[in-house]
Structure formats: C-alpha cells, structure tokens
Structure 1
Amino acid sequence: MSNDNMDESMVMLRYFIMDSREMLDDVEPQIIAMEEKALTVGEIDEAILNAIFRLFHSLKGSASFLDLQTIISVTHEAETLLDIFRSGQAVIKPAHVDLLIRTT
C-alpha cells in the first residue's frame, strides 16, 4: 500500500471514529428512553426503536466500507435484537437494554 493510500485510509478511519462516537453518544439516551417507555407503558415507542435501528445500520454500513469486521458483527447482532422487538417476537427487558448499551 502506498503512503498516499495509507494516509487516505487513516483520514477515513479518523472520520469514522469521530462520526461513530457522536452517533453512539446520541443513541444511549434513546435506548434508555425506549426502555423507560416499555416498562411504564408496556409497549415500545416505534419511532425511538426505528431511530436506534437506523443508527446501528448506519454504523454497520460505515464499518463495512472500512472492513472493520468486529464492528460489523456487533452492529449486525444489535440490529437482529432490535428486529425481534420490531416484529413483536419479544418484549424489551432490562437485560436487553444492558446488552444494547454495552454495544455502544
């Protein structure tokens, strides 16, 4: 790999890290809000759930572009869990929230 390509890759990685940190900082309060509503009202706020899903999906797409396999795998699993809630196959529990928070 030439120095120019390496420099370009490092710049892209820096932008990925900066953008990802911002997204992850934004998603944690949304995850907690989703849990609070689910526990008090008994149902998940679909708008919050979809926003969280989109964040993980965007993060996975960016990680795919950079071939960051661990991030791709973790975000895919988060999407899978969120899809389970979206389809109504399970209700959200504190253990699920803990798991989602750990992915951030």
Structure 2
Amino acid sequence: MSDYFGPDEKLEMVKFFVAESRDLLDEVEPQIIALERDAASSGKVDESIIGAIFRLFHSLKGSASFLGFQTVAKVTHEAETLLDIFRNGEAVLDS
C-alpha cells in the first residue's frame, strides 16, 4: 500500500477489505455448493455459476493486490486460473 495514505486511512481500507472479503466469500460459498451439487447429480454445470464464481475471486484479487496482500492475491489468481480451465472447456467438472 502506498505511503500516500496515512495510518488511519490504511486501517480503514483494511477494515473495508475484510468486510468486503467476508461478503464475497459468503456469496461464493452457496455458488460453489451448487456447482458441486450439479456436477454430482447431472454431470453438467451451469456455466453462469462458474462465471459468477470467477468474478467474485477476481474482485477479491484486485482488492488484495491494491492493498499489498500478495498471498491472498496469489491464491485468488490460482482460483481464477482453475476456473478458466473449466470455462474454456479444457477440463470437465465432475463429482
């Protein structure tokens, strides 16, 4: 995080990041469960669910990168890469 921001501003940004991250993770959890359920029951998955999960991880990655949380950014980037494999049809998600 840039030295442009003072300590109070940095703290507020981190608090916002934590709150936003919790919201995103709360949103992604049922989507991952739906994806898993669909793969197990029909062998097919809704492409829109994969896209929605990808966008949530992308948002989290962007915020983490901005704040200098490189480990979070790296993990979310790996999640994006994995989801891209399924989005592009390079692999099939199954149970």
Taking structure 1 as the reference length, the TM-score comes to: 0.82
Looking at secondary structure, tell me which structure has more helix per residue. Answer: 1
Write the deviation string for residues 63-91 of structure 1: whole angstroms up to 9, x where unpaired: 11101100000000000110011111112
The residue type equivalent to 1:72 in the other structure is: A
CA contact (8 A) 1:38 1:45 kept: no
- Percent same amino acid among aligned pairs? 59
Aligned to 2:59: 58
CA contact (8 A) 2:60 2:76 kept: yes
Measured on the aligned residues, the alpha-carbon RMSD in Å equals 1.6
CA contact (8 A) 2:32 2:53 kept: yes
Taking structure 2 as the reference length, the TM-score comes to: 0.90
Runs of 4+ in 1 over 6 A off after TM superposition: none
Aligned with 1:92: secondary structure? coil
Q: Say if 2:38 is the partner of 1:37.
A: yes
Structure 2 unpaired stretches of 5+: none
Structure 1 unpaired stretches of 5+: 95-104
CA contact (8 A) 1:60 1:71 kept: yes
Distance 1:85 1:43 in 2: 11
Distance 1:43 1:86 in 2: 13
